[in-house]
Chains A and B, each alone.
Chain A
């Protein structure tokens, strides 16, 4: 029998903040707990009894949308049906997506907007298509309204862009700063704007960081070795990610580039790992389930259209391995998920 009503820490925190905003809106003191505003704001408007259901519904919608965007990307790349099924299974046959979708609204919505941003990012970085830049920049800013992990996403894209399109940027070095601004300005403005607003209204500019339950900012929480271990573990749990990186480096993906170019692109591909490591080390943000999903979504955005048969075989094999590894060697944070599963069943 299913036992409904399990409430994770992120869910509870969001509901607490929504209640505090509703209670304190008249004197603006609630601004210090109003982060993330795109989630807390609407929840605060709802009666208390409706909030759990609202979180569940929105979380489910976000997870479903994320999955459909992922699937659409695979279909547009004209991958064989079997490979599409295996890649979807790699995403679905892991409790991370289910847990985030039901228990961490901030995590799933920020990830969704990152996924939407990625589509524009690739067109922008590789083809200098400004509409793609608009899309990437704006979705990253919206993602910030859902969770501070968006800052890490944005940093990854800003650093990664000149590496991923190294040939274009070598020819036009002035484009590097311009690209960084287009990608990063909206989220930077959102973060600074929110910091300023909270400072003026509630007197605590960075309260939104600590009150979001992400730990004390700029405080080395876990130590570099621990953060490094966690980052490495995240990568090893994502054989798809490793495979795609190897294919880029060897030229199996993106043929015709010199070794230097391939190395730069591979480095760009690994930037999210570096950023997640730094984030964890600084105590800024860390969610093992989020990083696992991130490392599953990123390869899908990079797989070329109509890949060769050998590449399809390799990708399929990695897609099968991924859930197997997760079962044999649980993702960090599995204890939280286990509690959730036990509570439900």
Chain B
């Protein structure tokens, strides 16, 4: 972890604890991992944090204070910025009876230098005491509630208003949208045939470009199949002592039933526990999940952070609170039901060490463990397989903006803070962050590791989830096109076009599909010579070819994605992709409606609906050619 400047020295810890084999082993391990002994002991659960702090306080001859609800004076605490207090590890508690000195709780040893620095800050003599880090964090959350909420909710909007989705449309965008509508209406009034032909022509071209772009990117991604950038040997060669700290954020809301599984899944992560910090982000009003989390008695390296209740009630807001408290050099988001590959954190670390210095994030692949539960989970798995196994690697290879997935995005924490964290008003905060990173000249890459999730098996639940994603894409498009000239100057025309085709083309394709489908149905029912009276012949021909090419391309990439995962039984299901798209169309129109009426509303996806027993992980990505059988050349 970011070694706190106030971690108690090892000799102090050794002085207060009775010698034992366990202590000696912990000390040896701490030396090997190059972490403070106190952190190693806490990670092993060998001694409680509070218990050790009490002993150390006695050793340092200062009192130990158990922080409770009414312990710290909010006025005193609020006089200092939360960030300073957290970074420096102290909290002013109360003034002494004569009003002269200030009692200050320190995390770690309150040595003379620290005490003098704090005295200068508070402007009064300091009476030192020791407090535990977890209690310190909870006290900060209580006392600096307003500041932390402000930071989490409005931080980005204040820092860079143009980058926040708090406002849906700028004035210029409103005028442009209005102008476009007026133009279309006037066009139809003047010459409806020409206007209709123009609209269909534009829709066809946009649709073909969008599908063609995705297909070409997938082809590029397919070329990387033979690479295995991070091998088992690379992982074995890692010196755990050189590993940095890793923070895992797990936002959880109304998921009391999954908490137990969450502990199991994260317990599999292969990363030294003394360097791992898991912050489970709970919502203040979700008492059921909070109670379940506490009852599960998480290990010492897993902390429960109760996020203050405020609007908007979104995952990115909670993650921003978590970001504030994160101590790791790297940070990753997982959802409550996620099953990441155990070695994912190490792979992410290696990916970072090999990446350019401007790489802010590496995205792992997502896939589903209940892929064959029903038709919907099959189609969902096909979609994710193509997206994460072909599309993202292709974008990475072409150095184009990558919209991040909802989880398993591994960040350099300091770079993430410089980017401003997540936008709490964007309902696909992950996609937005990936684009924002590119817009500010950072890179997002991919890492060859998979996190398994639960695929949505209920159609209504799926529509809610997908409408949120489409709405988020629309928000992201609107936000990042507010200054198109500046965007193009920063990232180049190619990247800008790629962003528009991907982030804009995806919802546009779903919105455009029903009119194209209507034209197709008309072409079946109405004789061609009658249709030509309404639409030009060439447009009819192009529309039909477009329909065939577009659907063929998307069916095919779905097949390839399933094949690569060796999910052979899923391959034929790709033929149903056009029907699956109809669900997307329904979700897209719902998203458009919500963008107008409830732009920041977060449609919560219900998890834990699967009736499949929670298995081990699904099939991995096959890293390159298998040994030849039958016909071979060597």
Contact = CB atoms under 8 A, between A and B. Distances in A.
B631 interface: yes
A126 interface: yes
Interface string B618-634: 00001001101111111
Interface in A136-190: 137, 164-168, 172, 174-175, 177-178, 181-182, 185-186, 189-190
B555 A131 contact: no
B530 to A, nearest CB: 12
Interface in B524-553: 524, 528-529, 532, 537-538, 540-541, 544-545, 548-549, 551-552
Given A25-B537, A175-B568, A196-B548, A126 B556 contact: no
A268 B560 CA distance: 24
A216 B130 CA distance: 94
Given A26-B537, A126-B630, A177-B571, A193 B560 contact: no
Contacts of A125: 630-631
A129 interface: yes
Interface in B559-576: 559-560, 562-564, 566, 568-569, 571-572, 574-575
A129 B563 CA distance: 9
Contacts of B540: 28, 201
A131 B634 CA distance: 20
A130 B568 contact: no
A167 B225 contact: no
Contact of B633 (A189, A248, A305): A305
B552 A189 contact: yes
Contact of B225 (A131, A166, A196): A131
B356 interface: no
B18 to A, nearest CB: 59
B625 A25 contact: no
B541 A165 contact: no
Contacts of A133: 560, 563
B354 interface: no
A257 interface: yes
Contacts of A326: none
A181 B631 contact: no
Interface string A17-59: 0000000011110010000000000000000000000000000
A126 B632 contact: yes
Contact of B528 (A127, A181, A201, A306): A201
Interface string B209-221: 0000000000100
A154 to B, nearest CB: 14
Contacts of B551: 189
B68 interface: no
Contacts of A197: 541, 544-545, 548
A131 B632 CA distance: 17
Contacts of B552: 185-186, 189-190, 193
B226 interface: yes
Contacts of A186: 552, 556
B168 interface: no
Nearest to B547: A193
B632 A254 contact: yes
A332 interface: no
A133 B541 CA distance: 30
B146 interface: no
A326 B549 CA distance: 42
A130 B626 contact: no
Contacts of B219: 134
Given A127-B625, A134-B222, A185-B556, A28 B631 contact: no
Contacts of B575: 181, 185
A39 to B, nearest CB: 16
A200 interface: yes
A251 interface: no
A243 interface: no
B537 A182 contact: no
Contacts of B622: 128
A176 to B, nearest CB: 8
B629 A185 contact: no
Contacts of A67: none
A178 to B, nearest CB: 4
Interface in A249-275: 254, 257, 261, 264-265, 268
Interface in A263-318: 264-265, 268, 302, 304-306
Nearest to B222: A131
Interface string B558-600: 0110111010110110110000000000000000000000000
A196 to B, nearest CB: 7
Contacts, number: 136
Contact of A165 (B544, B560, B630): B630
B532 A128 contact: no
A129 B569 contact: no
B633 A168 contact: no
A126 B548 contact: no
A122 interface: yes
A83 interface: no
Nearest to A171: B629
Given A193-B548, A193-B552, A265-B630, A130 B560 contact: yes
A181 B630 contact: no
Contacts of B549: 193
B111 interface: no
Contact of B629 (A26, A31, A126, A200): A126
A331 to B, nearest CB: 28
A200 B544 contact: yes
Given A130-B225, A177-B572, A200-B528, A27 B631 contact: no
A123 interface: yes
A231 to B, nearest CB: 23
B231 interface: no
B173 interface: no
B225, B551, B625, B630 — most chain A CB neighbours (10 Å): B630
Contacts of A304: 632-634
A25 B537 CA distance: 8
Contact of B537 (A28, A168, A268): A28
B280 to A, nearest CB: 38
Contacts of B524: 200
Contacts of B629: 126, 165-168
Contacts of B532: 27-28
A324 interface: no
B96 interface: no
A185 B633 contact: no
A201 B541 contact: yes
A305 B560 contact: no
A108 B383 CA distance: 37
A77 interface: yes
Contacts of B556: 137, 185-186, 189
B523 interface: yes
B625 A174 contact: no
Contacts of B529: 27
Nearest to B564: A130
Given A178-B563, A178-B568, A201-B540, A166 B523 contact: no
A265 B631 CA distance: 7
Nearest to B545: A197
16 contacts: A31-B541, A131-B222, A134-B219, A137-B556, A164-B631, A166-B629, A174-B568, A178-B562, A178-B572, A189-B551, A189-B552, A189-B556, A190-B552, A193-B548, A201-B541, A261-B630
Given A168-B629, A305-B634, 13 more contacts: A126-B631, A127-B628, A128-B563, A134-B560, A165-B631, A168-B626, A175-B568, A178-B562, A178-B571, A181-B574, A197-B541, A268-B631, A302-B631
Chain A to chain B: the 5 pairs with minimum beta-carbon distance, closest first? A193-B548, A167-B629, A127-B625, A178-B571, A174-B568
